[in-house]
Structure 1
Amino acid sequence: KISDSLANTYLRGHDMLYMVFSGTIKDGKTEEFYRDIAAVSQKLTLQHDKAVVYQWHRDEENANRFFLNEQWESVEDLHAHFETLYKAFGPAKPTERLPSKILDYLDEARVNFYQTVG
Structure 2
Amino acid sequence: MPRDIPEKEIRVLLTIMIHAKVKKECLDEFLEIASLLTRETLGKRKGCISYSFNQKQDNPNEFILHEQWQSEENLNEHIRQLIILLGPPKPGGLLPERLVSMYEYAEPAYYKVIE
User: After TM superposition, is the score higher than 0.5?
Assistant: yes
Q: Structure 2: how far apart are the matches of 1:117 and 1:74? A: 15
Contact 2:50 2:67 in 1 (8 A): yes
Q: Aligned Cα RMSD in Å?
A: 1.8
Q: Separation in 1 of the partners of 2:114 and 2:14?
A: 14
Partner of 1:9: none
| Aligned counterpart in structure 1 of residue 34 of structure 2, from 21, 29, 38 | 38
In 2, Cα distance between equivalents of 1:89 and 1:57? 20
Mapped partners of 1:42, 1:15: distance in 2: 18
CA contact 1:45–1:84 (8 Å) conserved in 2: no
Q: Aligned letter for 1:26?
A: K
3-state SS of paired residue (2:24): coil
Structure 2 partner of 1:6:
none
Map Cα deviations across residues 94-115 of structure 1 (whole Å, 9 max, x no partner): 3211100001111101110123
Partner of 2:14: 17
Aligned partners of 1:52 and 1:113: how far apart in 2? 15
What is the aligned-residue identity percentage?
29
Gaps of at least 5 residues in structure 1 are 1-13
Matched, 1:71 2:68: yes
1:10 match: none
Question: Aligned pair count?
Answer: 104
Unaligned runs of 5+ in 2: 1-10
Letter paired with 1:18: T
Q: Identify, as 1 or 2, the structure richer in helix.
A: 1
Q: Contact 2:12–2:68 at 8 Å: present in 1 too?
A: no
